[in-house]
Structure formats: C-alpha cells, structure tokens
Structure 1
Amino acid sequence: MSDNHFSGRVPSSFDFLLYLQVFDLSNNNISGTLPSFFNSSNLLHVYLSRNMLQGSLEHAFQKSFELITLDLSHNHLTGSIPKWIGEFSQLSFLLLGYNNLYGSIPTQLCKLNELSFIDLSHNNFSGHILPCLRFKSSIWFILLEEYPSEYSLREPLVIASKSVSYSYSPSILYYMTGLDLSCNSLSGAIPPEIGNLNHIHVLNLSNNHLIGPIPQTLSNLSEVESLDLSNNSLNGEIPPQLVQLHSLAYFSVANNNLSGKTPEMVAQFSTFSKSSYEGNPLLCGPPLLNSCTKEVPPPPPPGPSTDEKEESSVIIDAQVFCVSFVVTYIMVLLGIAAVLYMNPDWRRAWFNFIEKSINTCYYFVVDNLLKPFRIRVRKPLV
C-alpha cells in the first residue's frame, strides 16, 4: 500500500493479521504514533518511511524478533533507540535516518551478527561511535539458499551513497552493506576497530564532532566505495595507506583540521578533486594549490667584500647625514621667515627678542670676560 495518499493513524485492525510478514505503508501521509500492536512474531519486513509518524519506538515491534528490515526513515520520531533492538537476531537493514531521535547509540546493536546496513543519519545522536559493530555480507546468500521465499527482500530501500540518495532494488541490496552516522552530534575519536568492517561499501561519518586522527586501519576497508569524513574536527595526517582502497569512488575529508601531505595521486585517488580536501588550511599537495615544498630564494650575486661594503656604507651614511642636516636647517629658516613675514605681531616680538638677546650677551661679555683686562687708576696721594 505504498506510494498513495493514505492519511490518519495505522488502523488497529492490522493486529488481527497474525501471519503478516511484509508490511509496507511507505510514502504516504500516515500520522500518529507507532501502534503497540506491532508485535507479531511473523513480521519480517516493515516499510514505514516517508510518513509523518511521531512518538517513540519504545512500545512497538517488541516481539517481532524475526525482523529483517525495519525502515522508519523520514518521519518525526523522537526518543532513543530501545535496548530491545539487540533481540532482533536476524535484523539486517535498520534505517532510522531523518528523524528526531537522540541519546547514545545503544551497545545492544553489537549483538546483531547479521547487519548489512545501518542508517542513523540526520538525527540528534550523541556519544561515541561503537567500536563493536559487525557487518556480514554473506547473510543473504545463506538465507536465500535455505529459505528463498521467506527471507528474500520485497521492496527497494533508499540509501545514501556517494553523497547522493539512491533507491536500491532488492537484487542490489543483497550486496549492499554500510554505516551512515552522518549529521548527528557524535564526539570522540573514530575507533580503529571500524577498519575491521572490511565488507562494507559505504562509511559516512560526516557532520559530527569527531576528533583525533584518521585511523590507519581504514585502509582495510577493501570493498568501500564511499568514504565521507568531512565536517568534523579531525587532525593529524591523512594515512597514506588509504591509496590501497581501489574500490573507492567517493572520498571526502573536507573541513577538518588535517595537516601534512595529501595522499599520492595514484589509482582511485587520481580522480578526486580539491573539493575532497578543501577546508584544511594546513593540508598541502595536489590536487590542492598550496605546495608542500617552500621555494628557496636564489643566492645573491657576487659583490664587494665585507670590509668594502662597511666602508662604502659609512661614506654613504655621512653624506646622507650632511645633506639631510643642511636641508633641514634651510627648511627651518624658511619656515621661520615665512611665519614672521605673514604675522607682524610675531615679527615685532621676534626682533625685540633678538635685540634683548644681543644686549644680554654684550653685557655678559663686558662684565665677565673683559673684567681682568680693565686698568685700575689709583688716586694720587696728597
């Protein structure tokens, strides 16, 4: 019943469909909360994406332990992921992206051994990335051989890969594995154990608050096609071992605090443009414009010896001093003359000052310097 214009709540009459295995109401206008009667032990695939569902997941699907696909993306769900999620031993596709979920990612997800794809993007999850997650790519082949009609996927799923959302048909989903935790509030470092997920095709940790270096172990993701670590606070160098990822078609570490040299432009990395690295001021090397090698200035041409340079500099300095002194003296005199010419009051005061100064100097010389040379005339004795 997908892709219609159904509205309202999910009818409670569905509770009587005891043998229901596939429930698809995706891409409608279904509202309200998830009904608590979704507890059928026969449910295998639930598709409720792109609706207007609200509320939490706490009381829904608690007894649907055989669930393989749970797609509740693009709704308005709130709350955290219930801990009973760890009881879904067959769960392979968990799509909860584009909701308002919060809290930390429950460690119970580490109990799931049959995971193929987890999408928790565009929520408000916080805390650290679980280092214990496991993905298994061969699950579908085993289940199809044993239960071809029961475990085969029935509907396509919309999954973001290479920064674009695609609708993957069931036949392609058998080979699709990945982890999308983008656009949340996750913090801490990227666990090195993520490198053990060597079967995944998509790893998107962008737009979080991750810190620390990029683990060298990511070079073990031999089948990854899309690796996005952009818009975080990662630092350090980009591991050069990443050039071993020969299946990589999309790569981005833009807008971090990375430094050092970009990976060699070989194999798949020769196809990535500067947009994969921009926003890291301390990063250098192609395809970025800033080079890692600083240009050394050429040596100066041969010239006179040091002594000759010192002598010539002394001569030049003396000449410059004399010229500047004469020019300054002339400028001061001209400035005083111009001021006295334009202001008669200052001119009279200046001349009075000069006359007074001359008289003072004259009497000083006469009274002090010429005094020993004066001839004293004695009066004659009578």
Structure 2
Amino acid sequence: MDRDIEFIIFGEDWGRHPSSTQHLISIIAKQYPVYWINSIGLRQPQLQAKDIRRIIEKLMAFIHRPAITDNEVSPKKLKKIIKPLVWPLARNKTMKYINKKLLETQLPQKKHYRVLWIALPSAIEYIELCQADLIIYYCGDDFSALTGVDHDKTMQAEQTLSIQADLIYVANRQLMARFPKHKTHYLPHGVDLHLFQSQHACPPAIDKEKKNIGFYGSLNNWLDYDLLQQLALARPQFQFYFLGNKDCPQVQQLQNENIHLLPAIPHHQLASYLQHWHIAILPFIKNRQIKMCNPLKLREYLAAGCPVISSDFNAAAEYSPLVSIATTQLEWLSTIDRITQLTPHQVAEYKQKAYQCVQHDSWERRIEKIINTIQKMRSSTTE
C-alpha cells in the first residue's frame, strides 16, 4: 500500500457530530496524513441568535487556538485541524478574495500526492488553493432538501463541483442520477461493528425491569412528535427513551410520564443504551428530506441486533422485513406489541439475521474500496 498520499478534507466542524465523513476519515487517518478543514457553511449568516452564536464560536476558535492544531482530538493520528475564518458562500468579489487569502495562509505545504475530499459544496471556491492531484466529492446528503441551507447557491456549487471532481461518491442510490455516471460510485454508510456488537453494561438511566423503546439523535423538527405522544399514551407500560439535543420547540410536547428525554452522549456510549432497548425506532415525518435521508443509526440499530420500527422512507425500506415499516399509529402500535411479545429464541434469531445483514458494512471495508480506487486512478495518470 502506498503511504505517500495526503488528504485535505472539507467537512463539518470536527467532533460536532459523528457524520459519515468523520467515520470514514477516522479510518483513513490511521494510515495517511489528514488535514481536516472545519465547516465552511452552506448559507449566508443572518442577524439571528443562532447565527450570531456560530459566528462567535468560529471567532473564539480562531483567536484562542492556533489555526492549525496538532493531534487535537480523536483520532490521535489526525494530522491537523484547520479552523478557517471565512464568510460562507460569499457573493461579492472582494469578500471572495479575502476568504481565499485567509484560507491560503492556513493550508499546509504540499508534501505528497494530495487527495482533496469535499463533503460540503461550499468548498468549491477554494479548490485551486489546495494543489490537489485528485478531487473527490463525497455527497452524503441531498442538499437541495435540507433545511437551513441556501439551496440555490449550494446547488450551483454542487453542479460546478460535479464537473471539477475526478471521483464522486454518493451515500444514497437516489442521488446517483444527479452526477456523471462514469465517475460516480454508490458508497452506502458503514457501521462500527465492533462497538455495536461488543457487550455493554446497562446504563443507570434505563429501567431494565420494563420494556424499553428508544431513539438517539437530534430531536429536531423531522420527528413525528404527535405520533410519539400518542404511542406513549397508548402504551403506558412501556418506557420511551430519547437521547439527543433538543433542537426544536416541538420536543416540549413529549410530557408523558413514560417518556424520558436524555441529553446527547458521545457516540462510543450509544451502544450501551441501544443494547438494552427492546425496540429502536426511526419515527420521522414524511417530507423530501426524510425521503432522501440515510441515517447512520439505521445500520447501528441492526448491528446491535435491536429490532427496528421505522417510518416509510427509502433507506429503511431497503432493510425490510428486518426493519418493520409502519405508516399509521395503528401499525406502529401493533408492531410494538408484536415485537415486545417475541420469545427469547425469536429475539436471538433476529439478532443473528440483523448482524448478518450488515456484517460486510464496516467502515474499514468502505475505506478499502475508496483507497483501491484512488490508487488505480493515481496509477492511470502516471503511466
């Protein structure tokens, strides 16, 4: 395996949440030098509290810490974390020029064959600064469907990026048609099999004596709060656990005594909760963003062997019948009742089938495929 390859990554803020890019790059960083560039946003900041807080966070990170920091966070082999001080999706020439000059001073000197990995289309303005030998666009989301995004500017950037990129990976099959066929590859999300298969002690917050139903992730406006409240009311003997940041006002609807709102926890602790739930759920509303989503937790639920009930969307339907699809409150309740009445033997059978379904989906396997493709493309350009 060639070691003289280095990676520059344009992604979200490192450590802010466990994205697919961070999982993938964590594996790459064990073998190659990686320079991670924190988020360059997907819309113009506005004069509102949320944006002002983010601007202050960016300024504080830039002022109080070096622009490039060594071995700052896990994984320890991550070479550098670059905290850019640029204005997202700048529209006038002066601001674009200032942005480029600011970032140019922060970029590392090129030492090896350089792969530029772009997970956010807003990085399009900075490609020429990076001296890349190979440009990869990793499309993990349908940005045209995401909330809080400048859709017009982001999609224009993505279209330009799809032309400039040498290689494109998409995490959702439905996104394949958007990009040139000859250089676009389907790369579904992976899963940390060791983490979710290893046995973990039950956390004190979980009542082991009762039937437990759970969800982890952002408690945002894409969850069906009306449904969740009705499920908890209809089945007071079951406990409902939600782990995550409360990111929308609708969360306040969940006031039932058998609903437990727990704070977000580090990714490596999630398995300890998941393994002690009887059912893991994906209770999403129906919209375009959900239709095109491919949540990491779906494969994590399966790897842990926890029976899954989900709203109807493409990624979940691919795993039916291991993932039970429910579209009405009655279907949700009947499926909950069926699963909670499974015998220990039936639960063991499910665990085995669920694991077999994802046993070849480790993040390491995904990276093996990526590195092989990079090496082939590198060889073809040097022949």
TM range (shorter): under 0.3
CA radius of gyration, larger in: 1
**Of Structure 1 and Structure 2, which has the larger fraction of its residues in strand?**
1
**Of Structure 1 and Structure 2, which has the larger fraction of its residues in helix?**
2
Q: Output the TM-score relative to the length of structure 2.
A: 0.26
